[in-house]
Structure 1
Amino acid sequence: MCNPLCPRLRITMPASACVEPPAIGPYRLPNRVILAPMAGVTDRPFRQLCRKLGAGLVVSEMVIADPSLWHTRKSRARLDHRGEPGPRSVQIAGGDPEMLADAARQSAARGAQIVDINMGCPAKKVCNKAAGSALLRDERLVAEILEAVVAAVDIPVTLKIRTGWCADSNNGVRVARIAEQTGIQALAVHGRTREQRYTGCAEYDTIAAIKAAVTIPVFANGDITSPEKAAEVLVYTGADAVMIGRGAQGNPWIFRQIDHYLRTGRILAEPSGAERRTVMQGHLEALHAFYGDHMGVRIARKHIGWYLGTREDAKRLRASFNALESPDAQRHFVDELFRQADSPATNGINAA
């Protein structure tokens, strides 16, 4: 497990509060904290929640670039941005330049204000189709894709990458230069190779080298789970913003906590029990409304499970919650979770 404050990154002061948040094309972000795109996680309910709790930009779940597949239930949900404030950033994934260009055009027509290209996903089912981080092995194809997508739309195009395919192919700096030369307007970098997937610790030397090599905004991503770590990474890499992925699962408050620390140098108080209850209930309601009762109940198991993960009795609570089959039962569970937390005579949820 990674040390949340890596020894090499010991910084006594937060990143300067006077640093202006980055701009992506015409869009000046309100702060330096961004929600990373995560398949199966950053759906519309979660994006709206994270933005409400301080994310300066949120990015949609990855959408496969083949528009012929967009009629599926999953793709329709991923393409649904109704009611979301701008700028709306939509991530697309694929390996064919013209198909990605067409997907970008259609995304813009559906209301996307920023198109993000995925060259960072390490999943086998994506890489096996020569997409995601697999593209990093072919720099010529990277250039062709970026040129095609940038030429296809008149909205900003951004890119998310890893540091390379493997330790022997750490070509993040070269890919970053290609991105800048082809018109990419911001670059997010996860500090691992594809070969690492999510194992080991993220490294920030490559991100620092990338930031030094290009003039476009660079967003640092990987293992950023606290305000202090965010500030340390920003100072060490010189990045323009941090991008939070797994650190936001079950902890959407991390965005306002990081933003507050970067602006003031002070740690913001943890959310109260009352606020946690309100946020979890609101998240439940949004999931049920967005997906319907049947799918909403099932998808809520994942999200509520993350909220429960910090508790000593997390395993038992998750098992109890995962056995529930209706929205009402899930609402009751959350109500009881906090009611009994205030009672010294009880210890969590009665599964019955």
Structure 2
Amino acid sequence: MSVQIGNIDLGEFPLLLAPMEDVSDPPFRYVCKQNGADMMYTEFISSEGLIRDAAKSRQKLDIFEYERPIGIQIFGSSIETMSEATQIATKANPDLIDINYGCPVKNVACRGAGASLLQDIDKMVAMTKAVVEATHLPVTVKTRLGWDDNTKNVYTVAERLQEVGIKALTIHGRTRSQMYKGEADWNLISEVKKNPNIEIPIFGNGDIDSPEKAASWKREFAVDGMMIGRASIGNPWIFREIKYYLKTGNLLPKPTIEERVEVCKIHLQKSIAWKGPKTGIFEMRRHYANYFKGIENFKETRMKLVALEDIEEIYDVLEGIKTIHAEVMA
């Protein structure tokens, strides 16, 4: 049975790319979409930044037709500014608006935004209602199990947010106090899904890093789909690998060095096209180690890549990775 968010048909068991700050920008989203991501989100965008017309916040509104369906994710601590930001984001013409109630980092949560709202459910509900009323688009939410081990309140949160009109909920299986440490607990996510009062899709997030785990947890926790974050960094192939395994029970071969180089180059090209040569090359530097994880003696090559500023020289080094690997394998 297809999963629906409003009038968006996501297919039988959708795989979502998580919104990740400084990662899930249009260049990265491109390579994930090419490898099977069913729905994606922008990096999270500050509602205050949108209202102040901050350049960085505005740039994050950039979406492209090939990315659809795509959601714009916003966060903030003020109900009024979240409502205003929703109206601005709606004009960018995404397929949905997503609210971030899950970000645990200090400069978000300690300013009353992101996961901080898990400490004030009444305000969270009022904010969500204001966002739903500010747009004609479907509104979804991403959150966590609770603020800490003593306040795992997502079961109640799910019911109350559904009442004010959200169309789907993604739950990260950690509390805010856990940050990204320890193991994600999907048992409570499963309880929310099994709640007879819940009619909206429930997506699980946290620690999905292999096709086998995705298949096992799909059976065990019965969620409607999965959101993948950190495991996709440098590994956009994870979406196609999971889909293939769910369909056939077999593992796809891992991407070859040649494919890793080619996808890295596409990512770089898209980064330059979107941000300009200087910023595009600079911001791509954080991705090289992830694309070529596991290659022996890669450190020296990485040091070259992060030092170069000429695109043709970077391409030459990337092409050289194929040659070096071929010699090692010979």
The TM-score range, normalised by the shorter chain, is: over 0.9
Mark the CA change 1:311 to 1:272 in structure 2 (over 3 Å): closer, same or farther. Answer: closer
The equivalent residue for 1:58 is 40
Which residue of structure 2 lines up, in the alignment, with residue 16 of structure 1?
none
Residue 287 of structure 1 contacts residue 300 of structure 1 at CA under 8 Å; is this kept in 2? yes
One-letter amino acid matched to 1:319: M
Q: Which residue identity is paired with 1:71?
A: A
Gaps (5+ residues) in structure 1?
1-19, 347-352
Query: Quick check: 334-343 or 184-193, which moved more?
Result: 334-343
- Indicate conservation of the 8 Å contact 1:21/1:240, yes or no: no
Partner-residue secondary structure (3-state), 1:54: coil
CA RMSD of aligned residues (A): 1.6
2:48 maps to 1:70 = no
Quote the offset at 1:345 in angstroms.
8.8
Name 2:68's counterpart in structure 1.
Answer: 86
State which of 6, 10, 23 in structure 2 corresponds to 1:29: 10
CA contact (8 A) 1:100 1:145 kept: yes
Aligned counterpart for 1:281 among listed residues 265, 283, 300: 265
Find the aligned partners of 2:127 and 2:57 in 1 and give their Cα distance: 22
SS of the aligned residue for 1:325 comes to: coil
Aligned residue number for residue 140 of structure 1: 122
> Partner residue of 2:92?
110
> Residue 159 of structure 1 is aligned with which of 141, 144, 153?
141
Query: CA 1:210/1:284 → structure 2, altered by over 3 Å: closer, same or farther?
Result: same
What amino acid sits opposite 2:53 in the alignment?
A: W
Give the alignment partner of residue 31 of structure 2, picking from 25, 28, 49: 49
CA distance in 1 between partners of 2:59 and 2:254 (Å): 32
Instruction: Report the counterpart of residue 126 of structure 1 in structure 2.
Output: 108
Cα distance in 2, alignment partners of residues 287 and 111 from structure 1? 22
1:303 aligned to 2:287? Answer: yes
Letter in 2 for 1:164: G
Q: CA-to-partner distance for each residue in 1:287-317, whole Å, 9 max, x for gaps?
A: 1111111111111111222112233434444
Could you state the TM-score of these two structures normalised by the residue count of structure 2? 0.94
Q: 1:312 to 1:137 in 2, by over 3 A?
A: farther
Q: Is the 8 A contact 1:63 1:91 kept in 2?
A: yes
- In 2, the alpha carbon distance for the partners of 1:82 and 1:192 equals 32
Instruction: Determine the C-alpha separation between the residues in 2 that align with 1:21 and 1:284.
Output: 34
Contact 1:90/1:115, CA 8 A, preserved across alignment: yes
Q: What secondary structure, in the 3-state scheme, does the structure 1 residue paired with 2:66 have?
A: coil
Equivalent residues of 1:308, 1:317 under 8 A apart = no
Alignment counterpart, residue 324 of structure 1, candidates 291, 302, 308: 308
> With structure 1 as the length reference, what TM-score do the two structures score?
0.89
Per-residue deviation, residues 156-188 of structure 1 (Å, max 9, x unmatched)? 000000100011111111111111111110000
Of 60-69 and 311-320, more deviation after overlay is shown by: 311-320
- 1:174 is matched with which residue: 149, 153, 156? 156
**Number of aligned residues:** 326
Q: Which residue of 2 aligns with 1:200?
A: 182
Match of 1:17 in 2: none
What letter corresponds to residue 285 of structure 1 in structure 2?
Answer: Q
What amino acid does structure 2 have at the position aligned with 1:101? S
Tell me the amino acid that sits aligned with residue 5 of structure 2: I
Structure 2: distance between partners of 1:145 and 1:310:
45
| 8 Å CA contact retained: 2:51, 2:81 | no
- The amino acid across from 1:62 in the alignment is F
* CA gap 1:179/1:313 in 2 versus in 1, 3 angstroms: farther
CA contact (8 A) 1:162 1:194 kept: yes
